[in-house]
C-alpha cells in the first residue's frame, strides 16, 4: 500500500492546497479513525479516510472605545486575532486548545492600565476544566513553575528554580473517574494550570502534552470569566464540558 504524509493525503482527498491542509492539521481539526491528528507529517496509507471538523465560531463578548473582548474557539491561535482585528493588540493570550475570554486593547492608555493590574495581581481569572481523577475538595497549588523555550514551543514544569504561581481548584461535578472543576489563578505562567493540575495527579482531559492520550477531541480547558478594571467579562463553556 502506497503511503504519504497526512497533510498531502488530506490535500488530495479534499481538494485543498498543501499549505491549507497542513494548517488544518496544525489546528487540530483533522481526525483519523475518530482520533485527532497531532502531526501533519505523520505517514499514513494514501486511501486513509480523513475527517475535517468545523472550527467553532469566534464571537464578540464586549466592545467599547477601549477594549474588544472575544470568546476564542479552541484550535485558534491567539495571534490570529491580531491579524484579524489589526491594529488592536492582545492583552494576554490563551493556548491554542484553550477556549474562552480573551481581551484586546484599542489604545495605549487602556493597555498600560491593564498591564499594571496584571502586574499587581489584581486581575480575576476564572477557568473551568474537566480533569482525570477525583477532585473532591478545594486544592491550592503553589508549586514554583519554570519554563524553557525550545525551537518550536515552550514547555513548563514544577521546579525549585521556577517562579511563583498560585492555582486554586474546586470541584463542580463528577462523572465516573473525571471531575469538572473551577480554577482560579493569580499569576499567569506559561501553561500554569496544565502543569499544576498534572503535577497534582489531575491532568486535564485532552491535554496530550502534560497528561496522557484519550479519546477527547480537544483539551477541556476554558477561560470562563475575567474581571479587570471595571470590566466583568464572561464566556460560558461549551456542552463538551457537561459531566
Return the active site residues.
95
Which element (helix H / strand E) includes 192? helix 192-199
* Residue 172 cell numbers, joined: 463542580
Q: What is the number of alpha carbons within 13 Å of residue 14 lying toward its C-beta?
A: 22
* Residue 86 cell numbers, joined: 489589526
Per DSSP, 57 falls in state P
Which element (helix H / strand E) includes 196? helix 192-199
Contact indicator for 123, 187 with CB cutoff of 8 Å: no
User: Which residues are CB-contacts of 202 (< 8 A; sequence separation ≥ 6)?
Assistant: 131, 132, 133, 135, 139, 169, 179, 181
Asked if the bond preceding 87 is cis, omega within 30° of 0, the reply is yes
User: Which residues are CB-contacts of 182 (< 8 A; sequence separation ≥ 6)?
Assistant: 126, 127, 128, 169, 170, 172, 224
Contact indicator for 6, 42 with CB cutoff of 8 Å: yes
Please name the residue ranges forming H helices in 32-91: 79-84
In the chain the first and final C-alpha atoms are separated, in Å, by 42
Amino acid at each position: 500500500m502506497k503511503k504519504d504524509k497526512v497533510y498531502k493525503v488530506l490535500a488530495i482527498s479534499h481538494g485543498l492546497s498543501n499549505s491549507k491542509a497542513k494548517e488544518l492539521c496544525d489546528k487540530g481539526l483533522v481526525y483519523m479513525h475518530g482520533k485527532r491528528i497531532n502531526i501533519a507529517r505523520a505517514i499514513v496509507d494514501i486511501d486513509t479516510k480523513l475527517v475535517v471538523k468545523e472550527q467553532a465560531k469566534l464571537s464578540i463578548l464586549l466592545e467599547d472605545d477601549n477594549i474588544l473582548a472575544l470568546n476564542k474557539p479552541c484550535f485558534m491561535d491567539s495571534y490570529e486575532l491580531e491579524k484579524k482585528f489589526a491594529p488592536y493588540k492582545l492583552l494576554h493570550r490563551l493556548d491554542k486548545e484553550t477556549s474562552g475570554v480573551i481581551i484586546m486593547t484599542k489604545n495605549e492608555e487602556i493597555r498600560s492600565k491593564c498591564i499594571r493590574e496584571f502586574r499587581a495581581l489584581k486581575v480575576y481569572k476564572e477557568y473551568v476544566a474537566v480533569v482525570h481523577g477525583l477532585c473532591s475538595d478545594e486544592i491550592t497549588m503553589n508549586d514554583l513553575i519554570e519554563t524553557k523555550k525550545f525551537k518550536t514551543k515552550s514547555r513548563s514544569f514544577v521546579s525549585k528554580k521556577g517562579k511563583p504561581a498560585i492555582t486554586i481548584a474546586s470541584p463542580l461535578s463528577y462523572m465516573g473517574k473525571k471531575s469538572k472543576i473551577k480554577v482560579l489563578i493569580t499569576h499567569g505562567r506559561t501553561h500554569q494550570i496544565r502543569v499544576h493540575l498534572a503535577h497534582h495527579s489531575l491532568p486535564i482531559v485532552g491535554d496530550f502534552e502534560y497528561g496522557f492520550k484519550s479519546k477527547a477531541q480537544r483539551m477541556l480547558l476554558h477561560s470562563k470569566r475575567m474581571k479587570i478594571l471595571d470590566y466583568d467579562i464572561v464566556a460560558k463553556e461549551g456542552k463538551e464540558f457537561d459531566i
